[in-house]
């Protein structure tokens, strides 16, 4: 039988543990040195002899004090040090929560990203927050967004339902980028019900004009069940790995599929998806079990 003193010690110890875990989740893990998450795979119908290193950044969510221009510039240095052939940005450059001390303007975060360097270039897509926080785009129900203009102003192309053909060592391949699947928010004032996506998967892939492999960039991974086998690899962000992840499970995931596409490398019917845990956060500045990460993907 537990004594009163023992009970109080138990409660006190539990409370201290909770405070310690909360402090770690809010104050330490989100600011840890960024982890490089490495994947190596040869997708179906990938050309023999094509070795390609793709490095991906997702969900930066620029804001103070969590993701300052200085921290983004440091991430840029870490990314370049990985010697990528190609760098891709998977959307959500804009902050995603109210618990900030100050916003970071689009010119400031774009300027920090302008230092990215790779022989085959830097390509990007937009995320839902890049649309949601753009009042003019929400009213119009269409772009171009401020985020797109900021990226293009520093020489980073934005793919919205568009494709680019690249070549390495005599082998061609395609990068296809989808427009956001949750771009336009519901609005009573504008009499809009439900989210409206601007993505066009079929129309985008129709622009691929030869049999070279395709890498698809799609901010939200929920598109994956519709992605055809023709696509060698799909890269997504958005979920942040749930921001809290224990024993391979995330209690809350912003996806219709729950944990199915929450994080990591998913293979279904010989099709490959990699979902980044991202760099910043939305709703709350909390990470536990999902360190901020840069993706390094070696193909072939």
Give yes or no: residues 111 and 146 share one domain: yes
Instruction: Assess whether 169 and 41 both reside in one domain.
Output: yes
For residues 125 and 139, state if they share a domain: yes
Q: What pLDDT is attached to residue 44?
A: 87
Same structural domain, 167 and 218:
yes
- Within this chain, do residues 40 and 149 fall inside the same structural domain, yes or no? yes
pLDDT digits (tens, 9 = 90+) for 97-129: 989 999 999 999 999 999 999 999 999 999 999
pLDDT of residue 5: 47
Mean pLDDT of the chain: 91
Number of domains in the chain: 2
Same domain, 24 and 42: no
In this structure, the answer to whether residues 121 and 228 fall within a common structural domain is yes
Encode the chain in three state secondary structure. Answer: CCCHHHHHHHHHHHHHHHHHHHHHHHHHHHHCCCEEEEEEECCCCCCCCCCEEEEEECCCCEEECCECHHHHHHHHHHHHHCCCCEEEECCCCECECCCCCEECCHHHHHHHHCCCCCCCCEEECCCHHHHHCCHHHHHHCCCCCHHHHHHHHCCCCECCCEEEEEEECCEEEEEEECCCCCCECCECCCCECCCECCCCHHHHHCCCCCCCCEEEECCCHHHHHHCCCCEEEEEECCCHHHCECECCECCCCCCCCHHHHCCEEEEECCEEEEECCCCCCECCCCCECCCCEEEEEEEC
- What's the CATH code of the domain at 199? 3.60.21.10
pLDDT for the residue numbered 33: 63
Whole-model pTM: value is 0.90
Task: Tell me what the mean pLDDT of segment 146-162 comes to.
Answer: 98
120 with 221, same domain? yes
By residue range, what is the domain housing residue 12? 1-31
Please indicate, yes or no, whether residues 262 and 235 belong to a single structural domain of this protein: yes
Q: Greater confidence, 4 or 64?
A: 64
């Amino acid at each position: 039988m537990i004594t009163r003193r023992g009970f109080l010690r138990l409660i006190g110890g539990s409370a201290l543990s909770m405070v310690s875990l909360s402090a770690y989740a809010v104050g330490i893990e989100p600011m840890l040195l960024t982890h490089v998450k490495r994947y190596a795979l040869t997708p179906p119908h990938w050309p023999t002899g094509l070795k390609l290193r793709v490095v991906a950044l997702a969900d930066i969510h620029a804001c103070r004090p969590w993701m300052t221009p200085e921290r983004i510039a440091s991430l840029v240095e870490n990314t370049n040090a990985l010697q990528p052939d190609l760098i891709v940005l998977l959307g959500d450059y804009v902050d995603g929560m109210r618990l900030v001390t100050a916003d970071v303007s689009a010119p400031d975060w774009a300027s920090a990203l302008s230092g990215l360097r790779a022989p085959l270039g830097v390509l990007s897509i937009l995320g839902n927050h890049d649309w949601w926080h753009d009042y003019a785009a929400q009213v119009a129900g269409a772009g171009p967004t401020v985020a797109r203009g900021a990226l293009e102003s520093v020489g980073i192309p934005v793919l919205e339902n568009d494709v680019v053909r690249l070549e390495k060592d005599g082998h061609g391949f395609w990068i296809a980028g989808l427009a956001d699947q949750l771009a336009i928010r519901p609005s009573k004032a504008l009499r809009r019900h439900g989210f409206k996506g601007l993505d066009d998967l079929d129309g985008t892939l129709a622009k691929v004009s030869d049999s070279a492999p395709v890498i698809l960039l799609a901010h939200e991974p929920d598109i994956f069940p519709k992605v055809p086998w023709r696509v060698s690899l799909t890269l997504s962000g958005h979920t942040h790995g749930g921001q809290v992840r224990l024993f391979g499970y995330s209690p809350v995931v912003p996806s219709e599929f729950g944990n199915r596409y929450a994080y990591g490398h998913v293979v279904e019917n010989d099709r490959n998806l990699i979902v980044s845990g991202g760099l910043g956060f939305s709703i709350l500045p909390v990470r536990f079990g999902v360190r901020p990460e840069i993706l390094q993907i070696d193909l072939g």
